[in-house]
A = this chain, B = another copy of it.
Amino acid sequence: MKDLKMLDLKNIKIGDNSLISEKVNIIIEDTLKYQWEALNDHVEGAPKSGAINNFRIAAGEISGEYYGRVFQDSDLAKWLEAVSYSLALKNNEELEGLMKEAIDLVVKAQWKDGYLDTYFTINEPTKRWSDLRDKHEMYCAGHMIEAAVANYEVTGDETLLNVARRLADHLCSMFGPEPEKRHAYPGHEEIELALVKLYHATSEKKYLDLAHYFIRERGKAPYYFKIEALARGGLKAEELFYSEPFRLSSKQLFKKVNLDGLWKPERLDYCQAHKPVTEQEEAIGHAVRAMYLYSGMADVAMDAGDDELAEACKRLWNDVINRKMYITGGIGSSSFGEAFTFAYDLPNDLAYTETCASIGLIFLAQRMFKMEQDAKYINVMERALYNTVFAAMASDGKEFFYVNPLEVWPEACHKREDHKHVKTERQKWYDCACCPPNIARLLIMIPEIKTDKTAKIS
């Protein structure tokens, strides 16, 4: 396998008249400041975020209650990553000041042992790492590590990188193949690709090894997610009615599960933990999780020389591209589970096609291109970028789509329960706000992503 030289973002210039340049400039000039306001709950008419407030509470600066989803921290992390990259393209003292303010909060919110997650810090400090399947601690850690690497690469400052190292060291102390460590992996993948980035930034091979371990341990029987739930003390009422936070269309729907239901295979499918990744034949479950997993697999395949993983990536890529991708580069055709369904099931009106899933597909395409150096991967990247991600942000950079169907009948979206996941207008923010800051960081990363190709030519 050949690797490609990555160009330093600071040495890249996008032509002033390109569409990409226009989008990148909107992010720099308007979106990042706007999103800071949203994360601070200052945007009138937008759903509350609570993300920065949660960090203020966890940092001990104020008292208060945690607000939002268990993965609210990741919204700030994505913003930090985006702002960091933006400073490589254009100096902006205001954004730099806000960034430092945010980093200061993150530093203060980190535990002495490296742990970082405001949900557990505020709400359930004694229960950290007790529910890897649904509580997203590693997902949030992954985004913060990505932010830290971006911040370090652009600014040279090691403050956030040190947070990331301590956090990753904590993970290394908790998880791994050694008998005294937990043989586990996250419910929402993301940490894997982040650890590879941290490995590149620090040359610490243990981070690559941990990413490799998470990927290879995934889906082995007996299933870790069953073990940890038993360890939590059997069935509790909250488990009988476990929330389906992924179902945007009907946030208030709860699913009643019986004891067996808690472990039923489709819940493992949902997070690609139903069998070892090298045995997985088709893309399945939550589309964003799948994309982040496959991206991490490709990274590790290249850096660790794991050819089985590379083969799995190619197989899964082909399944997505040939059988489960819309013409727009949208993926994940079902609202229920924000998930893949089955081959060629691509309804136009019921499409979920989450913005984050297409962003994940772009990340995967980037890695597949690095691995194979075939322009077909760049074609898919461009398809998703131009037809889904660009369309998911308003031209003023302040409103966003989460769901991107190919056909919209507004009255049906308002009046049919099975169409309620479709919004007929872009929104200022979301209760589950993964997409807006993901769009920001993806667009600001484009110069880096796109120039993989240039790098080969030059």
- A252 contacts which of B256, B416, B417 (Cβ < 8 Å)? B256
| Closest-CB distance, A178 to chain B (whole angstroms) | 40
The residue in A253, A345, A416 that gathers the most chain B C-beta atoms within 10 A of its C-beta is A416
Residues of B within 8 A of A337 (CB): 417
Q: Please, which residue of chain B has its CB at the minimum distance from the CB of A350?
A: B418
What's the nearest-Cβ distance from chain B to residue A377, in Å?
A: 28
A404-427 interface mask toward B, CB cutoff 8 Å, 1 = contact, 0 = none? 000001011001111000000000
A332 CB → nearest B CB, Å:
12
Q: Which residues of A379-412 have CB atoms within 8 Å of chain B's CB atoms?
A: 409, 411-412
A263 within 8 A of B: no
Q: Are the CB atoms of B418 and A335 closer together than 8 Å? A: yes
Q: Cβ of A416 and Cβ of B254 under 8 Å apart?
A: no
Are B336 and A418 interface neighbours, CB within 8 A?
yes
Question: A255: CB under 8 A from chain B?
Answer: yes
Q: Residues of B contacting A235 with CB < 8 Å? A: none
A244, closest chain B residue (CB): B253
- Residue of B with least CB distance to A249: B418
Contact indicator A336/B254 (Cβ below 8 Å):
no
Residues of B contacting A342 in the complex (Cβ-Cβ under 8 angstroms)? 411-412, 415
Mark contacts of A27-60 with chain B using CB atoms, 8 A cut-off: 1 yes-contact digit, 0 otherwise: 0000000000000000000000000000000000
Query: Which residues of chain B are near A256, meaning CB under 8 Å?
Result: 252-254
A257 within 8 A of B: yes
Given the complex, which residues of B lie within 8 Å of A254, measured CB to CB? 241, 253-256
Bound-complex Cα distance A342 to B334 (A): 23
Using a CB-CB cutoff of 8 Å, which residues 237-256 of chain A contact chain B?
241, 252-256
- The reply on A341 being an interface residue by CB < 8 A is yes
- For A253, A415, A417, A418, which residue has the most chain B Cβ atoms within 10 angstroms? A418
**Cα separation A254 to B256 with both chains bound (whole Å):** 7
Number of copies: 2
Whether B241 and A252, one on each chain, are in contact in the complex, defined by CB atoms closer than 8 angstroms, is no
For A420, the closest partner residue in chain B by CB is B336
A255-B252 Cα distance, complex, nearest whole Å: 6
Q: Which of A255, A411, A417 has the most CB of B within 10 A?
A: A417
Which chain B residues lie closer than 8 Å to A334 at the CB level? Answer: 416-418
Q: How many angstroms between the C-alpha atoms of A337 and B420 in the bound complex?
A: 14
In whole angstroms, how far apart are the Cα atoms of A415 and B334 in the complex? 10
Do residues B345 and A411 form an inter-chain contact, with CB atoms below 8 A? yes
Contact residues in B for A253 (Cβ distance below 8 Å): 253-256
Near B by CB (< 8 A), chain A positions 406-458 give 409, 411-412, 415-418
| Chain B nearest Cβ from A414, distance in angstroms | 9
Rounded to whole angstroms, the CA-CA distance of A255 and B345 in the bound complex is 28
What residues on B are CB-neighbors of A409 within 8 Å? 345
The CA of A411 and the CA of B345, in the complex, are separated in Å by: 9
Q: Name which residue of chain B comes closest to A337, CB basis.
A: B417
Q: Are B416 and A345 in contact (CB under 8 A)?
A: yes
| Inter-chain contacts of A252 with B (CB < 8 A) | 255-257
CB closest chain-B residue, reference A258:
B252
Measured CB to CB, the closest approach of chain B to A285, in angstroms, equals 12
Decide: B415 and A341 in contact? CB cutoff 8 A. Answer: yes
- Bound Cα distance A252, B242 (Å): 12
A411 to B342, CA, bound (A): 8
- The CA-CA distance from A20 to B345 in the complex, in Å, is 39
Minimal beta-carbon separation of A452 from chain B (angstroms):
36
Assess whether A417 is in contact with B345, with CB atoms less than 8 Å apart.
Answer: no
CA separation between A409 and B343, bound complex, in Å? Answer: 13
Which residue of chain B is the closest to A418 with respect to CB atoms? B418
- CB of A331, distance to nearest CB on chain B (Å): 15
Q: Across the two chains, which residue of chain B brings its CB closest to A349?
A: B347
Complex CA gap A341/B412 in Å reads 8
In the bound complex, CA of A255 to CA of B254 (Å): 6
Q: Report A281 CB to chain B, min CB distance, Å.
A: 16
Which A residues contact B (CB, under 8 angstroms)?
241, 252-257, 334-337, 341-342, 345, 350, 409, 411-412, 415-418
Q: Can you list 7 pairs linking A and B with CB atoms under 8 Å apart?
A: A252-B256, A252-B257, A253-B254, A254-B254, A337-B417, A342-B415, A345-B411
Q: 8 closest pairs, A vs B, by CB?
A: A336-B417, A418-B418, A252-B256, A342-B415, A254-B254, A341-B415, A341-B416, A253-B253
